[in-house]
């Protein structure tokens, strides 16, 4: 990664404007050599009918943070990232507060990035464990 922590966070939060990430109020809050962390509020806007965090909202957080993290390992002028598979195990429920998604690189190949994303609550309890596979594509040349 050739970016500072501040540059990474600013860029991630900037490209979240007018997207699902903004709708879910996902905010990128920490970054390092092999990880990226974002937080998301847990409130009725991300609940399922039983008043708990919806698994789909957890997966949206996981894919958002894992895909954003891959962006910093590519040349964005020449390449782009596409999520091709995500899996999630929901281990604990939460009704309110914040969840934090931290993506850590497992495999960084030329064409495939594999991420483990742990979603935790404010006390560090594991809420969901996700795995995301991203494909790195060459950008189509426009003439």
- Establish if 29 belongs to a structural domain: yes
**Residue 52 is assigned to a structural domain of this protein:** yes
Q: Is residue 141 part of a domain?
A: no
Q: What is the pLDDT of residues 130-143, one digit of tens each?
A: 999 999 999 987 65
Strand partners, 114: 107, 133
Please name which of 11, 6, 139 lies closest in space to residue 79, comparing C-alpha atoms: 139
Domain count, the chain: 1
Residue 63 annotated in active site: yes
Spans in the chain with pLDDT lower than 50: none
Domain membership of residue 93 (yes or no) is yes
C-alpha distance across the termini of the chain, in Å: 30
Distance CA 22, CA 15 (A): 9
Within a domain: residue 142? no
Per-residue pLDDT tens for 92-109? 999 999 999 999 999 999
pLDDT of the residue at 9: 95
- pTM beyond 0.85, yes or no: yes
How many residues comprise the chain?
A: 143
Instruction: State the pLDDT at residue 143.
Output: 59
The parent domain of residue 43 ranges over 3-136
Active-site entry in 10, 27, 33, 63? 63
**CATH number of 69's domain:** 3.10.129.10
The predicted pLDDT at position 1 comes to 54
């Amino acid at each position: 990664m050739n970016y500072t922590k501040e540059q990474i966070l600013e860029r991630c939060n900037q490209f979240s404007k007018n997207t699902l990430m903004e709708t879910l109020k996902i905010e990128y809050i920490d970054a390092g050599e092999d990880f990226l962390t974002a937080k998301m509020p847990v409130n009725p806007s991300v609940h399922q009918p039983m008043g708990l965090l919806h698994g789909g909202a957890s997966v949206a957080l996981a894919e958002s943070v894992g895909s954003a993290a891959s962006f910093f390992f590519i040349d964005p002028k020449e390449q782009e990232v596409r999520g091709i598979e995500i899996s999630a195990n929901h281990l604990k429920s939460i009704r309110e507060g914040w969840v934090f998604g931290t993506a850590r690189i497992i495999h960084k190949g030329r064409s495939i990035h594999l991420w483990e994303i742990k979603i935790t609550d404010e006390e560090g309890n594991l809420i969901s464990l996700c795995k995301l596979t991203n494909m790195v594509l060459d950008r189509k040349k426009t003439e």
